[in-house]
Amino acid sequence: MSVGIVGKSAVDEATLPEVVAALAAAAAAHDADGSFPHEAFELLWRNGILDLVVPAALGGGGAGLEQTVRVLVELGRGDPSVALVTALHLLLYSQMDTPGSVWPQALRERLQRSVVEGPALANALRVEPELGTPARGGLPATVAERQADGSYRLHGRKIYSTGAPGLRWFVVYARTDDPVPLVGQFVVDTAADAGGWRIEPTWNHLGMRATASHDVVFDGARVEADAVVDLRPSDAPAGYDPVLMAWNALLIAATYHGIAVASRDWLADYLQRRVPSGLGKPLATLPRFQEAVGRIEAKVRTSSRLLADAARRIDERVELVDACADAPVVKLTVTTNAIEAVTEAIALVGNPGLSRDNDLERHLRNVLCSRIHTPQDDMILVGAGRAALANTTVGR
C-alpha cells in the first residue's frame, strides 16, 4: 500500500545535498527562538528518511546501520537538532524488528505503517526529574493506573523529551500501580486527541535548541491494553540487546560528527574568503592555517572511518561481539573529535567564530551537547577499562 503514496519517495542519497541545504538555511532561525522545525520533518518524510529503517515489505527503506549513519551525518551537517530528533526516532523504529523484539506485532506494524503514510515521529520518553536517566538504574515515578477494562491511565512527568512538539507517538517508560509494580513502555498516540497530557515549554538550553526537548506531563493519558511493550517485574533484568545499544551509540555519534564536518566546511570557506589588507592574499595560503586545518581534517577523517567501519561490521555481523563492544568507544572518540574540531576552529579564527552572525558559534554550542547522551563518557570508559583489565594476564 505504501509504495504508491502520493508525494512520498524512497530515500535517495543523491538528493541529500538539497535536503541538507534546506535544513541549513532554516537552522539559525530555529536555534535563535528555540522553535521546532515541523517543516523539516515533512521534508524528511517526503524524501524517505523518516521510514528509512522500516522493513521494505511495509513500504519503508529497509536500511541497515551503515546507511542510517551516513544519512544522519548529512542531516547533522544541515541542522543537528533535526538530526538528533531523527536519530532517536529511527533508533526506536529500528528496535521493533530485531530478533527477540519485545514489541507486539500488531502494535509494531501500526507504528511502522503510520510513518510510511506520514511524518509520524516517535521517541521514547524515559528521563524524569527524580530518576534522571534510567540507564543508571531506579524505578520510574510515572505511574500507569490499571483500569477495569484493562487499559491504563498515565500520571507523571518526563523531562528532556526530545522533539516533543512534533511527536505522534510517546513511548513512555512507567510503572504500574500494582502492589508489586511492573515496569514497561506505554504507547500514547497523540493523534488520537484523547487528552490527558500536555507539553510544558521548559527547554531553554545552550545548544540543540530546536529539538524542543520540553517536559511532557501526563495527567490521565489513556493507553490501551494492546499498546504496552515489555511489561515485566521491576526487579527483573531488562532485555539487553547489544546490537540495539550499538545502534544507539553510533547514531548519536553520527549526529555530532555532522557538526564537525559542517565546522570544517565553514572554516575552509572562511579562510578562502578572508583576505587581510596587510597580507593581500587569503589566509588559506598560509602554512600556519593549513596545518591547523590539517589537524581538524585528521579528526574528521578518522571519525568518518571509525563510524563507517563500525556500522558495516555490525550490519555484516563481522565479529559481532567485538563490534558491539567497540561502538560506545567509537561514540566517545567521534564526539571528542567533534568537540576538539570545533574548538580548534574557534581558536583559529578568534572573534568571528564566536559571533552569532556566523554558523561556527552555533556549532560550538551544539557540539558541547554530545557529552550528555547515554552512554555517557564515564560509563564508556569504566566499561572499556574493566574489559581491558579482565583480559590482561598478570605478569605478562
Could you give all domains of the chain from N- to C-terminal order, each with its CATH number? 2-119 (1.10.540.10), 124-233 (2.40.110.10), 242-390 (1.20.140.10)
Q: Which residue, among 30, 34, 72, has the nearest Cα to 53 in the 3D structure?
A: 72
7 to each of 48, 61, 116, 118, how far by Cα in Å?
Answer: 10, 15, 11, 10
- 6 Cβ neighbours under 8 A, 6+ residues apart: none
Joined together, the cell numbers standing for residue 275 give 583576505
Joined together, the cell numbers standing for residue 343 give 574548538
Contact between 136 and 128 under an 8 Å Cβ cutoff? The reply is: no
Considering the chain, what is the average pLDDT of its residues?
93
Structure confidence by residue, pLDDT tens digits, 380-394: 999 999 999 998 765
Contact between 127 and 133 under an 8 Å Cβ cutoff? The reply is: yes
Question: Residues in the chain, how many?
Answer: 396
- Rg of the chain taking only CA atoms, in angstroms: 22
Contact between 96 and 169 under an 8 Å Cβ cutoff? The reply is: no
395, pLDDT greater than 60:
no
Dihedral angle computed from the Cα positions of residues 25, 26, 32 and 37, in that order, rounded to the nearest 10 degrees: -160
Contact between 152 and 186 under an 8 Å Cβ cutoff? The reply is: yes
Structure confidence by residue, pLDDT tens digits, 143-158: 999 999 999 999 999 9
Joined together, the cell numbers standing for residue 396 give 605478562
4, pLDDT greater than 50:
no
Contact between 44 and 50 under an 8 Å Cβ cutoff? The reply is: yes
User: How much is the average pLDDT of 328-340?
Assistant: 98
- pLDDT given at position 186: 98
Amino acid at 321: V
- Respond yes or no on whether the N-terminal peptide bond of residue 375 is cis (omega within 30° of 0): yes
User: How much is the average pLDDT of 180-206?
Assistant: 95
Joined together, the cell numbers standing for residue 380 give 564508556
* Angle at CA of residue 127, ends 121 and 128, nearest 5°: 125
- pLDDT given at position 5: 42
User: How much is the average pLDDT of 193-214?
Assistant: 96
Facing residues of 179 across strands? none
39, pLDDT greater than 50:
yes
Q: Which residue, among 142, 145, 132, has the nearest Cα to 174 in the 3D structure?
A: 142
- 280 Cβ neighbours under 8 A, 6+ residues apart: none
Facing residues of 183 across strands? 175, 232
Task: Tell me, letter by letter, the H, E, C secondary structure of 127-169.
Answer: CECCCECHHHCCCCCCEEEECCCCCEEEEEEECCCCCHHHEEE
345, pLDDT greater than 70:
yes
